[in-house]
Structure 1
Amino acid sequence: MTSENEVIQYLKDNPTLLEDYIVSTNVSHETFERWSVRRAIKFKKSRKDQISGGAWTDLDHAMKRRVILETSDNRTRILFEITQCCGQLIGTDSMELIVQNDEGAFICRKDENGELKLKKVKSSKKPNYVQAIVNAGNQTIGEIHFHINLTPSEKSIVNAICTWSASCNYFSELYTHASEENNEDSVHENIAKQRKLSNFLLDVAKSIFHDIVSMDAVIVKVMNFAQKLVDADRASLFLVDAKNHQIYARIFDVGTGDDEHVKINKEGQKEIRFDMSKGIAGYVASTGDGLNIENAYDDPRFNAEVDSKTGYTTKTILCMPIKIRNVVIGVVQMVNKHNGVFNRQDEDAFEVFAVYCGLALHHAKLYDKIRRSEQKYRVALEVLAYHSVCNSDEVNKLKKIEITDRIVELETIDFNGMRLSELEKPLYAVYMFKTLFGGFLQYETDDLIRFVLTVRKNYRRVAYHNWAHGWSVAHAMFATLLSHKEVFSNLEALALYVSCLCHDLDHRGKNNAYMKTMSTPLAAIYSTSVMERHHFNQTVTILQQDGHNILKSLTSAEYKQTLSLIKHCILATDLALFFSNKAKLNVILEGGNFELTNPEHRLLTQAVLMTGCDLVASAKPWNIQTETVKVIFEEFYDQGDAERLSGAEPIAMMDRTKAHQLPAMQVGFMRGICMPCYELIAKIFPKVDKMRSRCEYNATKWEELAEEQKQKEADNS
């Protein structure tokens, strides 16, 4: 039996054998295409790299221009050249052309002599490819089928080529049609008009993306061109006010209007308004149908009042709707063609013009809305900045007080921050920052004071997750860092302290589950760790405020590293992440593989330490613990009340009617989350074992209270 290697070697020695077999009828076209795609995917080659060159990728297009000129009356050949151009520009020959005509759809391929041949497409054949459609007017004349997936940019290239090619075909047929029916002068006139229309459409397209500064600028451009396009004496453009069932214009030909209709709108601008039930323009706006009227006074829909007051005589009218998504947004009305009446060519040209006009007006409206919104946004930012940033009086008041002596009692976890005044908390926060980082970080004292005071101002007045909690967590980190100066680098310590101080900025007193269940705006912005991501973004916002950047002396690399660590640390306070962090760290510790020099182990340690500081209330003396728990549950009950108002049933922990179960629920929290956290931290940092032992003591006390409650309920039953 011949081995695989022997077969491969034989094919290498006889390369023509394999090639003859592949290009023979033994291999179907579909199989060959599939092999080509699989090969491209396997070797991960960019299709751009597979371009072997060709007339359409060569800078000299003389040969292709000659071919197009010589075959300009052969639609199939032109479509074939378009297909080849698309294929070479994106670097593939895995495609085919489908030509559409009155007899159906045909696959177009070259035979062995280079001649184009058409083969009827079977109706049962289902497409499994990307399509690019070439339209002429409202008719599909061809489809390019790609047997590979195209990138968005490649699709844009193909669509652009097909669009321009279809336009060329359309105008070419207009020219041919005119040549057959009119004399040479009319043909040249038609070509000149089409060229003028094409140039203006390009101008409008440029305006959509570059030149639009206001609605008025667009309307002036539209009116000026519209009048010249059909050789009209006067032109008017009205926008639709669907709410009031009126049409109006801010810019109009005063010779065709009357002063009775001119009003001053709420923005202080002059505008003319008509009811949509009156006149030709009103009729077109109401129905969406264009009108070409040869004698205005013979049409009952014509409103002759304006003529009677101005002395102007309206004879011919061409009035067309401007639509966006089949909704009429405006009406363009041409009055009195200079030579004769408005004809079919005028209508056709104006129909194309109206599409671009609609786009321009639509984008101009959006631009105006965005511009107004931007101004409102700036005003809102100014107001918010004023109210959310500390003022100079607050800064000066804190500057006058300077702590020069060491505060020993602040260096222990047992310190009771609840007894501090509103002035002392920021004062001590500044003191802790200076104690930790005064030796290595260059900062301005005013910036530090502003930063701390603004952080305080951006904590909401909720029951628990407020400034007092942020300060308490920062203090816990301060005490931990003081006793472990050798463990963390200066930047890591800086990130840990700032993260603790800011970790609950702008907390709303509701957890992540509430944010998602109630479909709040924050939940729409952040899919995971909703509140924590918001807290981090608030931190960055404060640092970016003028006079608040306490990190500005860091190098660019140090600044990026510190912000990255702050983000990591604040996100770690999401309790949903604690369980996975704990599991990973336990596996490493139990396996004896823990190394603080390992970046992954270091990040996990920082994350768990952030959780420990966030839960520090459970490691405080019993009297502080009980007072804090009352406040925590009051916030929980507020959330439960809000959930019940919205028709949802809160969980037991947040149900005010189940307050008697508080001791038992607290036992579950202490034993399930707090104790595992502090046991893990104590394994890495033995010096903070007091947090674990204090938490153990408090958990035991809650168990005693839970047992008493259980006994009381048993006695009452």
Structure 2
Amino acid sequence: MDENLVVQYLRDHPNLIEDYIVSDEISNETFERWSVRRNIKFKKYKKPSTGTPVVGPWNDLDLSMKRRVILETSDNRTRILYEITQCCGQLIGTNSVELIVQNDEGAFSCRKTEDGELKLKKVKTTKSADYIQTIVNAGNQTIGEIHFYTQLDQTEKSIVNAVCTWAAAANYFSELYTHKNVASDSQDIHENIAKQRKLSNFLLDVARSIFHDIVSMDAVIIKVMNFAQKLVDADRASLFLVDAKNKQIYARIFDVGTGDEEHVRVNSEGQKEIRFDMSKGIAGHVASTGDGLNIENAYEDERFNQDVDSKTGYTTKTILCMPILIRGIVIGVVQMVNKHNGAFTRQDEDAFEIFAVYCGLALHHAKLYDKIRRSEQKYRVALEVLAYHSVCNADEVNKLKKIEINNRIVELETIDFNGMRLSELEKPLYAVYMFKSLFSDYLRFETDDLIRFVLTVRKNYRRVAYHNWAHGWSVAHAMFATLVNSPEAFTKLEALALYVSCLCHDLDHRGKNNAYMKTMSTPLAAIYSTSVMERHHFNQTVTILQQDGHNILKSLSSEEYKQTLSLIKHCILATDLALFFSNKAKLNVILDKGEFDINRQEHRLLTQAVMMTGCDLVASAKPWNIQTETVKVIFEEFYDQGDAERLSGKDPIAMMDRNQAHLLPQMQVSELFGLVKYQTIIQKTCYHYAIMYSPCH
């Protein structure tokens, strides 16, 4: 029987060939290949026209699903090649493509089944395709071919060539990096995967520890040493930290039986540690140079210190010593000794380089944690000491309690009252009296709490020339005189905030202004960017109120308490002269327009702010003898600041320069005739001082 007879027989029996083709004898892949070849032969399969590209996942702008597929099947070369084939087909707009996978057994056509699996069928390599793109990896190995059963122009060929070249190179280096190749047996592959998974899990554990589990440096060191030893299958592991100041490396976690006991010391914290000079040994060399060392025979290396082995009886054969760096600076060294199976490999070095990065982060954060923890403990101790010395004692409270003021002191209700003539006992006594006079009918408070509060406020004013307790008392008295003579002007809460604010408005003042604090970069200036001293005064006020037995506001409701503290903050910050001028300008505009309304919250706050400054500078409204005494202490404080600035290498302004005190009358008289309006109330006070002591007096 020849071919012609077979063809004739099939023509006479058409059902036979149809039954055969649709039977189980013919696979779906074979039927599909026949269909493609038939379409190509009779030119029924054409590329879509321009503007109507083949729709597929590689044409979608969102490739997240495809990226996931590649990541999940990165160890399946056939799947990667299949995806490359589909990508190339869709880029040039055709489905007429076929993947031929090449290996030692021959060529195999790759097809995807209906359930998504890839099937390989051995085929004879033919040249019937219109274009064939051979995929060669970076190792010059042909790993597959893409057959295009349609015509491609030069641009389309260039696109396909570029995609396949990069994909093949990526495949090659991926396999090279993970130490896998076609000839690797399954056991080696599984070992590499297990090793990488082990490393990844530990790195995650270290990263987690940075934020959650780090409680001490020793805990981190133990974790690092345990894993480092297992990571490269070493018999022993040591971790040394670098003391750059003393040019030494040291360890706190170590086995004394395996080390040099002559180097063991007890540090300042009572912990045992072992120290070596950085000029000695393998670890010292790595710490000094920052270069890792992989030594196959320790005794043949002149840098190896054999004394440790001779004393312990241990024999060191192989060493892997790697630096731990932060910002390019060596902070530690990890040394592995005697790999259980042969010498340390390049793979061990690669794994440890990754590990060292995370190890450095963990050690760096552990050091910071230790420093913060020690600083916190010192801070708590300092607070305890300060609280003890800055809070009044029981004897002071009992002494003041024995004195009762039952009669009204009318003289105290005038602005002209001279607080300078009061004794150190009378000032807090009168402060308590003024508080009771204003708020006894409204506020429930313990007399002992009030006395403690006033005495502790007095104790927290520093002994500076002007901004001291006497000044704080004087400002509080001015506010008392204002409030007692206009009881309906403000609510009781507002009056309470105003009086307390005046009493506390300069707590812990250092006798230096805000400009000095910023210029000298003081710690306070680092904490507060604006109104430096005023914000500090408010925080000191809150601190005193929080002391046991000092909270004179405790009977207020939660809402009233918050409102009062907010008002106190507003009032104390208003004593910053930098804010006064803007507050005064706003108030003047409202008054000039005739729009002032004391019932409007904005107008009330502006009024309170200006009142605070008025009370703060009340000395200029006092009788002449009080003004002149006040000016003396003001300038003494100015000169103290000028002296401090000069010691820091800065030239003080003329008003604060003690060396130019003799020029002050002339400067102030010039100001009198040169200016219609003074810029600050302090300059007015200086003028009074100048007139009193100038020759023209």
- The TM-score with structure 2 as length reference comes to 0.74
Q: CA deviation at 1:657?
A: 3.9
Alpha-carbon distance change, 562 to 171 in structure 1, aligned in 2, over 3 angstroms: farther
**Which residues of structure 2 form unaligned runs of 5+?**
1-49, 52-60, 88-136, 139-155, 160-165
Is residue 200 of structure 2 the alignment partner of residue 215 of structure 1?
A: no
Q: Which residue pairs with 1:584 in the alignment?
A: 586
Matched with 1:600 is 602
Percent sequence identity over matched residues? 79
Equivalent of residue 197 in structure 1, options 199, 204, 217 = 199
1:614 aligns with 2:599: no
Match of 1:649 in 2: 651
Code of the residue aligned with 1:252 in structure 2: it is F
Aligned to 2:259: 257
Counterpart check, 1:343 vs 2:345: yes
1: CA distance between counterparts of 2:650 and 2:423? 39
Q: 3-state SS of the aligned residue for 2:314?
A: coil
Distance 1:268 1:75 in 2: 63
Aligned counterpart, 2:231:
229
Q: Does 1:709 align with 2:694?
A: yes
Secondary structure at the aligned position of 2:694 is classed as helix
Q: Residue 246 of structure 2 aligns with which residue? A: 244
Gap change, CA 1:390 and 1:665, over 3 Å in 2: farther
Query: How far off its partner does 1:238 sit?
Result: 1.3
Question: Secondary structure of the equivalent of 2:530?
Answer: coil
Structure 2 residue 531 is the aligned partner of structure 1 residue 546: no
Shift of 1:118: 12
Q: Unmatched 5+ residue regions in structure 1?
A: 1-23, 26-52, 82-100, 103-116, 121-140, 143-167, 678-694, 713-717
Contact 1:664–1:706 (Cα < 8 Å) also in 2: no
- Do the aligned partners of 1:235 and 1:253 also contact (CA within 8 Å) in 2? no
For 1:389, give the aligned amino acid: V
**1:312-343 CA distance string (max 9 Å, x none):** 11111111111111111111111111111111
Between stretches 522-531 and 423-432, larger displacement belongs to 522-531
Amino acid at match of 1:321: P
Contact 2:467 2:506 in 1 (8 A): yes
Residue 64 of structure 1 and its aligned partner are, at CA, apart by 7.7
> What corresponds to 2:13 in structure 1?
none
Question: Aligned to 1:527, what secondary structure does the other structure show?
Answer: coil
* 1:454 to 2:456 alignment: yes
Quote the residue 1:367 is aligned against. Answer: 369
User: 2:592 is matched by which residue type in structure 1?
Assistant: E
How many aligned residue pairs are there?
558
CA offsets per residue over residues 206-241 of structure 1, 9 Å max, x none?
Answer: 111111111111111111111111111111111112
SS at match of 1:179: coil
Q: Distance in 2 between matches of 1:414 and 1:671?
A: 27
Per the alignment, residue 109 of structure 1 pairs with: none
What are the Cα deviations for residues 611-636 of structure 1, in whole angstroms up to 9, with x where unaligned?
A: 11111111111122222222222222
TM-score w.r.t. length of structure 1: 0.72
For the residue of structure 2 that corresponds to 1:211, the secondary structure is coil
Query: For residue 538 of structure 2, what is the aligned residue in structure 1?
Result: 536
Distance in structure 2 (CA, Å) of the matches to 1:501 and 1:119 = 84
* Aligned residues of 2:665 and 2:693 also touching (Cα < 8 A): no
By how many angstroms is 1:647 displaced? Answer: 3.4
**Which residue does 1:445 correspond to in 2?**
447
> What residue in structure 2 maps to residue 526 of structure 1?
528
Separation of aligned partners in 1, 2:680 and 2:222 = 74
2:630 aligned to 619, 628, 631, which one? 628
Counting only pairs closer than 5 Å after superposition, residues 103-502 of structure 1 correspond to structure 2 as 173=175, 177-180=179-182, 182-502=184-504
Shift of residue 451, structure 1, vs aligned partner? 0.9
**Matches of residues 567-582 of structure 1 in structure 2 within 5 Å?**
567-582=569-584
Q: Is the CA contact (8 Å cut-off) linking 2:179 and 2:192 kept in structure 1?
A: no
Query: Do the aligned partners of residues 171 and 490 (structure 1) sit closer, same or farther apart at CA in structure 2, a change above 3 Å counting?
Result: farther
Residue identity matched to 1:428:
Y
Over 3 Å counting, the alpha-carbon distance change for 1:504 and 1:176 in structure 2 is closer
**Matching residue's letter, 1:709:** S
- 1:353 Cα deviation from its structure 2 partner: 1.1
- Give, in angstroms, the shift of residue 55 of structure 1: 9.6
Separation of aligned partners in 2, 1:526 and 1:317:
53
**Residue 574 to residue 220, structure 1, CA distance change in 2 (3 Å):** same
Give the drift of 1:524: 2.5
Q: Which has the larger radius of gyration?
A: 2
Change (3 A) 1:232 1:652: closer
Name the amino acid aligned to 1:533.
Answer: R
Q: Distance in 2 between matches of 1:335 and 1:305?
A: 15
**1:340–1:641 distance in 2 versus 1, CA, 3 Å:** closer
SS at match of 2:538: helix
Flag the 1:425–1:665 CA change in 2: closer, same or farther, 3 A.
Answer: farther
